[in-house]
Amino acid sequence: MALLLLSLTASFFAVGAAFATPRRRNSRSEPTPQCRCVPLNLCADNDAAVNGKGLLDARIRNEICQNYFEVCCENPIGEINLPNQSIFRGCGYQNTTDVRAWITSESSAKFGELPWSVVILMKDTPDRIIYKCGGSLIHPQVVITAAHCVPGMDPKYLMVRAGEWNIMSQDEPLPHQDRTVQEILRHPHYHQVSLKNDIALVFLSEPMGLRDNVGLVCLAPANFQLESARCLASGWGGNSFRKGDHSTIMKKVELPLVPRGRCLDALRATRLGPFYNLDKSFVCAGGERNKDTCKGDGGSPLVCPIPGREDRFFQMGIVSWGIGCGESGTPGVYVNVPLYTDWIDRQLFARNFDTTFYKY
């Protein structure tokens, strides 16, 4: 399933999927005396009054229970103890099970699975906000994203949302958090044509509260290099089953890092031509058919397991650009995040922010 990645074509740089409050359907079925709506993981096997074998495709509305995270269950097994939401384990921890409900599909991230992923929103009109880009939380008050996502924008028109999963629903186990933006800092050597140094820091007006569904991603030491790994990209980008429309539910895709030489050869075989040179500010990942980031995923993170720590992730890339989406043999191109660790450190030091939040 394709995610969202921005093309080199300039017209792809503006993304505008409008948000709306979900409408209740008056004609929906109601729970019966024989069952009641509970989270899926609180229902004994085979007792859920839904079609399927225990796992719901969250893109399909349950006809009996209004909440995506609930099923009408004939035999609830009681409550479960949840982790203390105030405990911060450190950066880079993936939630391998849903925070409260096991609703998933092959290409959808679970609720709270990648808690550093954020949505950057833009105020389109006084009463409407639209999806602008993805980003990642490295500090409770700092987001990193692609510079092309925030081209000379006034911070007052942006908002960052953390802890989101389904952008069209408020029926989620834990609430998302919205923060206004205080400052946008693009890299001073960002080039809007070649997209070199395509990185920006977004400083929030107030810190996010760290919860099960809101966490931080780690950053690697400066100039760290990783030639081979299976990594994860996430975002609310294009959905191949919907012909490129935005996904309302966070998607994830596993992608291999591609060595620089092989990536350069692949890119030169495209319309970029035989003389194209890949700048050191980029890394490549993907090249597997129908597995890619795509239009609209710009700014979203590419994270890889920390060597020797498969349960923790650091951010290797930021979705930047690509030639098409999900084409066999053509990798996507990402910002080489470790190249900018020193620059990020300096910017946070200058603003008295603690850089240990993203260290491992």
pLDDT in tens, 147-194: 999 998 899 999 999 998 777 667 677 888 999 999 999 999 999 999
The pLDDT of residue 3: 47
Q: In the chain, which residue ranges form alpha helices assigned H by DSSP? A: 260-268, 341-350
Q: Does 80 have pLDDT greater than 80?
A: no
pTM of the model: 0.74
Structural contact between residues 213 and 134, judged by C-beta atoms closer than 8 angstroms: no
The pLDDT of residue 65: 66
pLDDT in tens, 8-31: 333 333 334 443 333 333 333 455
Q: With pLDDT > 90 as the criterion, what percentage of the chain qualifies?
A: 46
Distance CA 133, CA 150 (A): 9
Q: Does 54 have pLDDT greater than 70?
A: no
Does residue 168 or residue 322 have the better pLDDT? Answer: 322
Taking all residues of the chain, what is their mean pLDDT, rounded to a whole number? 76
Closest alpha carbon to 202 in 173, 182, 220, 177: 182
**Region for residue 265 given its phi and psi (left: phi exceeds 0; alpha: psi -120 to 50; beta: otherwise):** alpha
Distance CA 242, CA 240 (A): 5
CA 86 to each of CA 142, 209, 215, 294: distance values in angstroms, whole numbers, following the listed order? 19, 8, 11, 35
The band of 75, judged by pLDDT with boundaries at 50, 70 and 90, is low
CA 321 to chain centre: 16
HSE on the CB side for 8, CA within 13 Å? 14
**Region for residue 222 given its phi and psi (left: phi exceeds 0; alpha: psi -120 to 50; beta: otherwise):** beta
Q: Does 249 have pLDDT greater than 90?
A: no
The band of 309, judged by pLDDT with boundaries at 50, 70 and 90, is confident
Provide mean pLDDT across the span 138-150. Answer: 97
Q: Does 195 have pLDDT greater than 80?
A: yes
Does residue 123 or residue 302 have the better pLDDT? Answer: 302
Provide mean pLDDT across the span 202-208. Answer: 97
Q: CB neighbours of 327 closer than 8 A, spacing ≥ 6?
A: 289, 292
Distance CA 99, CA 173 (A): 7
Distance CA 194, CA 332 (A): 15
CA 91 to chain centre: 15
Provide mean pLDDT across the span 290-295. Answer: 60
Q: Does 263 have pLDDT greater than 70?
A: yes
pLDDT in tens, 85-111: 557 889 999 886 554 444 444 567 777
Provide mean pLDDT across the span 232-236. Answer: 85
Full set of structural domains in the chain with CATH: 12-19+112-215 (2.40.10.10), 218-342 (2.40.10.10)
The pLDDT of residue 84: 44
Q: DSSP label at 140?
A: T
Q: Does 360 have pLDDT greater than 50?
A: yes
Type of residue at 235 = G
Distance CA 163, CA 167 (A): 10
pLDDT in tens, 58-73: 222 344 665 544 567 7
Distance CA 173, CA 100 (A): 6
On the 0-12 / 13-18 / 19+ scale of CB atoms within 10 A, 306 is middle
Q: With pLDDT > 70 as the criterion, what percentage of the chain qualifies?
A: 67
